[in-house]
Amino acid sequence: MSKKITIYDLAQMLNVSPATVSRSLNNHHSISDATKKRILEKAEEVGYRTNKFAANLSNQKSNTIGVIVPRLNSYFMSTVLAGIEQVANEVGYNLIISQSLESEEKEKINAKTLLDSGVDALLVSLANDSKDYKHFEHFTTRKIPLLFFDRVIDLPHCPTILIDNLSAGYEAGKHLIEQGCTNLMHISGNLKRKLYEDRYKGFKNALLEHQLEINDYTLIETDLDPKNIQSVIETITGSPKKIDGIFVASDNYAANCIKELKKAGIRVPQDIKVVGFNNDPVSEIISPNLTTINYPGHKMGVLAGESIIAHLKGSINLQSTNTILLRHQLITRESSSN
């Protein structure tokens, strides 16, 4: 902002008051069309650009929405962000995006920075690490709307958007059982996060319902980082009772599992059937194609964006809606077929 043409300059050029210029620029109704037109044209002509700093200061709002995600470079998350960005962009909101990199510490700092930056609202998907949520209180006390998606926590007045992980887990388990698996394993993400806990619970429910054994091999908690996959493979191959069905909490990890299992001479789906999660494009690239749960990331982003913007514009009150559940769907492919 250095070629400083202000509303004062415009006012002077046109022999009107700055107030009139300001009103015209904001399309205020109490200005005659004639002067409005005159001012707008002049503004265009001299290349006037509004100074948002000043407008923000005066308005106490920024037309900016803050986003905190664990990391933005996963297929799922970047898809969600793309959805949020799209709707925000359309209605003229800016998006400030920051990553917690799974660290509660960074999440806190990010929240603080975004608060200071004067975001009008905050969208959050939690870090695995986070146990304490005081850093979000500043937002609620200041009545800055706060919405959680995917990795959520139940905070008063904060709506959440997610899928029904419990039933998704159940469906995955049930499907494997129906395909004839009797010795099942779940490879989970960080169980501190409710979505992973729920997926496991649902999965376990399916086992219980079919009177299948639950033992030390039923659940492995991981960070879902393929780097550390080897120990998981060893656990699978080392199980006393041969494992014949695996439900993995992410497609990416599942694809890597399949790859390593194949290397270890274990056939998928003949020896072990696999169900992933997310419906990542990789699920259709891996051979065999991966059975998975479709998780509508883009839609989630769009919905999160739309909800928060509608709330900001006053057209709906988010505080009352507490949870929005998106529809998921089991997609069966080769990795679990008979």
| Closest of 280, 277, 305 to residue 97, by C-alpha | 305
Q: In sequence order, which residues have a C-beta less than 8 Å from that of residue 32 and are 6 or more positions away?
A: none
C-alpha count within 13 angstroms, C-beta hemisphere, residue 16: 20
Minimum gap (Å) between residue 2 Cβ and DNA: 9
Yes or no: say if 176 and 184 are a contact pair by the CB < 8 Å rule.
yes
Alpha-carbon gap, residue 114 to 145, rounded angstroms: 13
Q: Is the CB of 317 or the CB of 322 nearer to a copy of itself?
A: 317
| Number of other CB atoms surrounding residue 116 within 10 Å | 9
Residue 338 binds which entry of DNA, a copy of itself, none, CB below 5-8 Å type-dependent = none
Min. distance of Cβ 118 from DNA in angstroms? 10
Query: Mind giving me the DSSP string for 274-301?
Result: EE-SB--THHHHSSSPPBEEE--HHHHH
Q: Does 32 bind a copy of itself (CB under 8 A)?
A: no
Binding at 272: pick from a copy of itself, DNA, none (beta carbon under 5-8 Å per type): none
Question: In Å, what is the CA distance from 64 to each residue of 31, 201, 248?
Answer: 28, 38, 37
The site partner of 111 among DNA, a copy of itself, none (C-beta below 5 to 8 Å per kind) is none
Residues 12-42 as b/e (b if ≥16 CB within 10 A, e otherwise) read ebbebeeebbbbbbeeeeebeeeebeebbeb
- Binding a copy of itself by CB under 8 A: which of 27, 29, 33, 143? 143
Q: Cis omega (within 30 of 0) on the bond before 156?
A: no
User: Residue 246 pairs with which residues in a beta bridge?
Assistant: 185, 274
With respect to a copy of itself, which residue has the nearer C-beta, 37 or 71?
Answer: 71
- Do residues 127 and 70 lie in contact, with contact meaning Cβ atoms separated by under 8 Å? yes
Amino acid at residue number 69? V
Binding mask of the shown chain, residues 44 to 63, with x at each position contacting a copy of itself by CB under 8 A: -----xxxxxx-xx--x-x-
Residues at the interface with DNA (CB under 7 A): 1, 4, 6-8, 15-20, 22-23, 25-26, 29-32, 34-36, 50-51, 53-55, 57-60
- Which helix (DSSP H) or strand (DSSP E) does residue 171 occupy? helix 165-178
Answer yes or no whether residue 85 interacts with a copy of itself by CB under 8 A: yes
At closest approach, how far in Å is the CB of 198 from a copy of itself? 25
Which of a copy of itself, DNA, none interacts with 263 (beta carbon under 5 to 8 A by kind)?
none
Helix (H, G, I), strand (E, B) or coil at 304: helix
Rule CB under 8 A: which of 269-328 touch a copy of itself? Answer: 281-282, 284-287, 298
Is residue 201 close enough to count as binding a copy of itself by CB under 8 A? no
Q: Which two tokens stand for residue 230?
A: 């080897």
Q: Which of residues 100-139 bind a copy of itself (CB under 8 A)?
A: 101, 106, 110, 113-118, 138
Partner whose binding site includes residue 23, from DNA, a copy of itself, none (CB under 5 to 8 Å by kind)? DNA
Residue carrying structure tokens 């909800």: 307
Q: 81 or 166: whose CB is closer to a copy of itself?
A: 81
Q: Which residues pair with 64 in a beta bridge?
A: 94
Choosing among DNA, a copy of itself, none, which partner's interface includes residue 336 (Cβ < 5 to 8 Å by kind)? none
Minimal distance, residue 60 CB to DNA, in Å:
7
16 binds, among a copy of itself, DNA, none (CB under 5 to 8 A by kind): DNA
Which positions lie near a copy of itself, rule CB under 8 A?
A: 1-3, 49-54, 56-57, 60, 62, 64, 71-75, 77-79, 81-82, 85-86, 89, 92, 94-99, 101, 106, 110, 113-118, 138, 141-143, 226, 252, 255-256, 259, 281-282, 284-287, 298
